Amino acid sequence: MAIKNIIQKNKQWLWLMAYLIATLSSFIFGFNPGQEVFGNFAKFFIEMITFIPFLFIIIGLFDVWFPKEQIEKHIGKESGIKGMFLVIVLAMLQAGPLYGAFPVVYILYKKGASIKNIFIYLGAFSSLKIPMLGIEIGYLGLKFTLARTLISLPLFIAVGYLMEWYLKNKKFKVNEV
Amino acid sequence: MINNAFIFIIVSIILSLISFFLDRNKTILGFKKGLKMFKSIAIPFLNILILVSLALYFIPQSLIIKYLGAGSGIWGLTIASFVGSVTLIPGFISYPIAAALVKQGASYATVATFMTTLMMVGVVTFPLEAKYFGNKVAAIRNILNFITAIIIGLLVGLVLWR
Distance in angstroms (rounded) separating the CA atoms of residues A87 and B121: 20
Regarding whether A113 and A44 lie in a shared domain, the answer is no
My answer on whether A76 and A150 are in the same domain is yes
pTM here? 0.81
Same domain, A116 and A161: yes
Beta carbons within 10 angstroms of residue A5's beta carbon: 9
A141 and chain B in contact, CB less than 8 A? yes
Angstrom distance (rounded) from CA A158 to CA A120:
8
Using the beta-carbon criterion (under 8 Å), do A99 and B132 form an inter-chain contact?
no
Looking at the fold, whether A56 and A112 belong to one and the same domain comes out as no
Nearest to A37 among B9, B57, B140 (CB): B57
Question: Which pLDDT does position B142 carry in this prediction?
Answer: 95
What is the distance between the alpha carbons of residues A46 and B75, in angstroms, rounded to a whole number?
Answer: 33
Residues A48, A33, single domain; the answer is yes
Helices (H) and strands (E) in chain A, counts: 9, 0
pLDDT band at B2 (very low <50, low <70, confident <90, very high): low
Residue-wise pLDDT tens digits, A54-105: 888 888 888 888 887 777 777 777 767 888 998 999 899 887 778 788 888 9
Q: Say what percent of chain B tops pLDDT 70.
A: 97
Task: For A163, name the nearest residue in chain B, comparing CA atoms only.
Answer: B141
Mutation target for A interface from B53, B57, B111: give the one with most A CBs within 10 A.
Answer: B53
Residues A161 and A102 in one domain: yes
Q: Which residues of A touch B11 (CB under 8 A)?
A: 54, 58
Q: Do B155 and A151 make contact, defined as CB atoms within 8 angstroms? A: yes
Total residues belonging to chain A:
177
DSSP structure class, residue A170:
T
Condensed to tens digits (0 to 9), the pLDDT of residues A117-169 reads: 999 999 999 889 988 898 899 889 899 999 999 999 999 999 999 999 999 88
B92–chain A Cβ distance below 8 A for any pair: yes
Query: DSSP assignment, residue B106?
Result: B
Which stretches within B87-134 are classed as H helix?
A: 91-103, 108-120, 126-133
The angle that helices A130-140 and B91-103 make with each other, rounded to 10 degrees, is 20
Distance of CA B160 to the CA centre of its chain: 17
Residues A50 and A88 grouped into a single domain: no
ipTM of the prediction greater than 0.85, yes or no = no
d(CA A161, CA B114): 24
The partner residue sitting opposite B116, judged by closest CB among A19, A48, A127, is A127
Structural domain of residue A9, as residue ranges? 2-63
How many structural domains comprise chain A? 2
Among residues A63, A93, A109, the one where a domain terminates is A63
Q: Are A90 and A23 found together in one domain?
A: no
Closest CA to B56 of A49, A21, A42: A42
- Domain shared by A31 and A75, yes or no: no
Residue partners of B92: CB distance under 8 A and separation at least 6: A131, A132, A135, B41, B45
The CA–CA distances, whole Å, from A37 to A4, A13, A43, A80 equal 30, 19, 10, 53
Q: What is the pLDDT of residues B14-69, one digit of tens each?
A: 999 999 999 999 999 999 988 988 888 788 778 878 888 888 888 877 877 778 88
On whether the CB atoms of residues A62 and A92 are closer than 8 A, the answer is: no
CB contact under 8 A, B33 and A60: yes
Could you report the per-residue pLDDT of A1-57, keeping only the tens digit for each?
A: 577 777 776 777 888 888 999 999 999 998 888 988 998 888 888 878 888 888 888
